[in-house]
Amino acid sequence: MALADLARKGLFLFDPETAHGLSIAALKSGLVPVCPQKTDPRLRQTVAGLEFFNPLGMAAGYDKNAEVPEALLRLGFGFAEIGTVTPKPQSGNPKPRIFRLAGDEAVINRLGFNNEGHAAALERLKSCARDALIGVNIGANKDSEDRVADYVAGIRTFYDVARYFTANISSPNTPGLRDLQARESLAALLSAVLAARAEQAAQSGRRVPVFLKIAPDLAEEGLDDIAEVSLAHDLDGLIVSNTTLSRDGLSDRTHANEAGGLSGKPLFARSTAVLAKMRKRVGEALPIIGVGGVNSAETAAEKIRAGADLVQLYSCMVYAGPGLPASIVKGLSALCDRERLASIRDIRGTRTGYWAEKNL
């Protein structure tokens, strides 16, 4: 058994949150095997003006405090998203608050934006290489009296160190946060956030893209509203999706009744359908990052076929281990060989119609 496999099995002896902390410590220590970033030109992507070595990123929530973004890139990811960070540090919900559903390759979490706050993450990001493709996922404190102001503070604080921003309004674990997805609230949020970005861009001469991360638990009308408001503002892209409140598709009922957001394999179908429905609505105007249940090169490719420009993952790495990003990237190159593609982008949108027709 490979060392990484052994380490992964060992981590399962610990509760999920302790295991997560140990995996961060392992990445910090450099104990995890490194995958040199091979640059298959067919996997290179330019999205929102940024150049990605490959289309696979680490999703937000793994490295909430920006402790190991460069180590994540060394595992083979083309980009890494840190956060969600909130202005003030906060401890999140009482433990236990992460649950493994191993039979389903799924996770339920109700962490509630536990993080060390803006200042701590900023200090760490200042020491990262300027060209490392690190995105900063911003949110609002639970007790905030002005949530929009918290997002604006995120833009101002991290402007010099972020290659892109994600405004996360879709965590189910901060009461009321998802209400920011409603038409009027979203318009107010985007106006304020994008005005702050415009100010910073004018001062620095550098325009940092801003993406919006949405929930998979939206009905068709909700998707219409988000698409319209997004297109009416100077937004750079959508991330589809966050975790779901639904418990559909679970065979392992052990923790099914725990409150929180479900992620991993059972989220794949719903998040991919929502992604395709958004692609239909926004056309070519906005890049989309597809996330939810990616566990292989084939599922990553299917997100791209459904209309994604880039793909992210988190939960399935808990089960597959740190070799997963490198194996997916290799698998995408193999797919390019097999299908004689000049670029992985050639499959983008080829199955948007199929996925967009699914009932939510």
Ligand X SMILES: Cc1cc2nc3c(=O)[nH]c(=O)nc-3n(C[C@H](O)[C@H](O)[C@H](O)COP(=O)(O)O)c2cc1C
Q: Which residues are catalytic?
A: 171
SS (H, E, C) 3-59: HHHHHHHHHCCCCHHHHHHHHHHHHHHCCCCCCCCCCCHHHCEEECCEEECCCEEEC
- In angstroms, the CA 60 to CA 180 distance is 19
64 among annotated binding-site residues = yes
- Stretch binding ligand X (CB under 6 A), from 32-40, 44-52, 224-232, 288-296: 288-296
User: Closest CB to ligand X among 196 and 294?
Assistant: 294
∠ Cα 149 151 75 (to 5°) = 160
Give the shortest CB-58-to-ligand X separation in angstroms: 9
3-state DSSP percent of the chain in helix, strand and coil, to 5? 45, 15, 40
225 among annotated binding-site residues = no
User: Which one of residues 287, 292, 307, 321 is an interface residue with ligand X (CB under 6 A)?
Assistant: 292
- Stretch binding ligand X (CB under 6 A), from 56-64, 192-200, 249-257, 338-346: 56-64
Question: Of all helices (H) and strands (E), which one includes residue 238?
Answer: strand 237-240
Q: Is the peptide bond before 271 cis (omega within 30 degrees of 0)?
A: no
User: Closest CB to ligand X among 33 and 92?
Assistant: 92
115 among annotated binding-site residues = no
Give the shortest CB-147-to-ligand X separation in angstroms: 15
Residues 6+ away with beta carbon under 8 Å from 216? 240, 241, 242, 243, 244, 246, 267, 270, 271, 274, 292
Residue 61 binding ligand X, by CB under 6 A: yes
Residue 64 binding ligand X, by CB under 6 A: yes
- Stretch binding ligand X (CB under 6 A), from 6-14, 22-30, 54-62, 344-352: 54-62
170 among annotated binding-site residues = no
The residue type at 136: V
213 among annotated binding-site residues = yes
Give the shortest CB-204-to-ligand X separation in angstroms: 25
User: Which one of residues 57, 135, 264, 325 is an interface residue with ligand X (CB under 6 A)?
Assistant: 264
Residue from 55, 54, 3, 45 nearest 26 by CA? 3
Residue 114 binding ligand X, by CB under 6 A: no
Helices of type H across the chain:
3-11, 16-29, 69-74, 118-126, 147-158, 183-204, 220-232, 268-282, 297-306, 315-320, 324-338, 352-356
46 among annotated binding-site residues = no
User: Closest CB to ligand X among 42 and 358?
Assistant: 358
Residue from 260, 173, 155 nearest 212 by CA? 155
- Stretch binding ligand X (CB under 6 A), from 104-112, 156-164, 183-191, 338-346: 104-112
151 among annotated binding-site residues = no
DSSP state of 274: H
Residue 60 binding ligand X, by CB under 6 A: yes
Residue 213 binding ligand X, by CB under 6 A: yes
User: Which one of residues 72, 98, 223, 310 is an interface residue with ligand X (CB under 6 A)?
Assistant: 98
Residue 167 binding ligand X, by CB under 6 A: no
84 among annotated binding-site residues = yes
- In angstroms, the CA 82 to CA 48 distance is 18
Number of residues that bind ligand X (CB under 6 A): 27
DSSP state of 95: S
* Cα–chain center distance at 279: 17
Site string for ligand X, 120-149 (x = CB under 6 A): -----------------x------------
- In angstroms, the CA 208 to CA 223 distance is 25
Residue 293 binding ligand X, by CB under 6 A: yes
CA 235 vs CA 195, 213, 231, 311, 316: distances in Å = 11, 11, 7, 18, 29
Residues 221 to 260 in contact with ligand X, rule: CB under 6 A: 242-243
- Feature table: binding site for substrate: 64, 109-113, 168, 173, 242-243
Contact set with ligand X (CB under 6 A) = 59-61, 64, 83-84, 98, 107, 109, 111, 137, 168, 171, 213, 242-243, 263-264, 267, 291-294, 313-316
- Feature table: binding site for FMN: 60-64, 84, 137, 168, 213, 241, 264, 293, 314-315
